[in-house]
Amino acid sequence: MHAPIGVFDSGIGGLSVLRSLQRELPNERFVYLADSANAPYGEKSEAFIRQRTHAIAEYLLAQHHIKALVVACNTATAATIHELRERHPALPLVGLEPALKPALALSHTRRIGVMATRGTVSSDKFARLLASVQNEAHFEVQACNGLALAIEQSTLPDQATVAQAKIAQLLQIYTRAMGRFGSAPGEIDTLVLGCTHYVFVENALRQLLGPDVQLVSTGEPVARQTQRLLAAANLLNTSSSAGHPPPIELLTTGDLQGLQAAAQRWLGLSAECCRAISDAHGVG
């Protein structure tokens, strides 16, 4: 089936999930929507996040006729995924949650750090997830106010230098607040990146934490789950495009230059794949 798969995030962070989806599903078309005019969701009210999530889902269904939807945002998943499933029971839906269970399989010290937005760590969904595993390891959970926004701003030419300095400062603050990292007993040896934006500062984190700390994100598990759901629904596109990747469309409600820079830097995509949209296009 040649209809595209819809992917959306509050901003550019979900491009890290899109990258994994492209690897897992090379024959599929994708339309990605960054709601950057309202990023980050992690510091917004739950009512606002729910309203935006439903509006974007309706837009992608009506205007792009998507065959599946990946909610590439931990905060939006926590706030709204159950309602999306109720409203769209026939639509294959994949959400995100911080990778606590995969982290358990990797940790030897049984001390695991979790970095996420305040919206994610304060949600009922995260509380239930944490309760399900907290007897198996000690989790240091850190709400990282401002980090997703700084990563978002780092793609804007006029804000990049200041944003990079802010990212470095926040990473120092938040990792120190969690405790000692390393492979020795009592140290945190595994760090869960509970926001899709944080994947794009992995290198900076590795420099801070050293080579023995494992970083865990959700892109690959989400891509595999998307493949399974599409296969079960007989919706996979099995036709190859003979060396030419399927077209991809990247949309933003915010600054077009920011999305173009992010697409080029992190996905190697041309700026021509990107365009700006607004509420006038039906996203609202």
Q: Is the pLDDT of residue 284 over 70?
A: no
Share of the chain above pLDDT 70, in %: 96
Query: Of 22, 200, 194, nearest to 102 (Cα)?
Result: 194
- What is residue 241's predicted lDDT score, i.e. its pLDDT? 60
Structure tokens at 78: 């926590």
- Chain segment 32-41, per-residue pLDDT in tens: 999 999 988 9
CA gap 208, 182 in Å, rounded: 11
Produce one character per residue of 27-46: b if its CB has 16 or more CB atoms within 10 Å, e if not. ebbbbbbbbbbbbbbbebeb
User: What integer pLDDT is reported at residue 281 of this predicted model?
Assistant: 67
Residues 213 and 132 placed together within one structural domain of the fold: yes
Is the domain of 189 the same as that of 108? Answer: yes
Which residue, 217, 251, 272, sits at the end of a domain? 217
* CATH, residue 81: 3.40.50.1860
Q: Domain boundary residue among 163, 187, 217? A: 217
Residue 38 and residue 265 in contact, taking contact as beta carbons nearer than 8 Å = no
Residue 282 scores a pLDDT above 90: no
User: Can you tell me the distance from the alpha carbon of 258 to that of 11, in angstroms, rounded to the nearest whole number?
Assistant: 10
pTM for this model (two decimals): 0.91
* Span 51-100, pLDDT tens digits: 999 999 999 999 999 999 999 999 999 999 999 999 999 999 999 999 99
pLDDT at 1 over 70: no
Catalytic residues: 73, 195
Q: Which domain holds residue 234?
A: 5-96+220-281
Residue-wise pLDDT tens digits, 143-202: 999 999 999 999 988 999 999 999 999 999 999 999 999 999 999 999 999 999 999 999
Same domain, 181 and 224: no
Same domain, 106 and 60: no
Indicate whether 146 and 71 sit together in one domain: no
- Answer yes or no: is pLDDT of 242 > 60: no
What whole-number distance in Å separates Cα of residue 110 and Cα of residue 9? 31
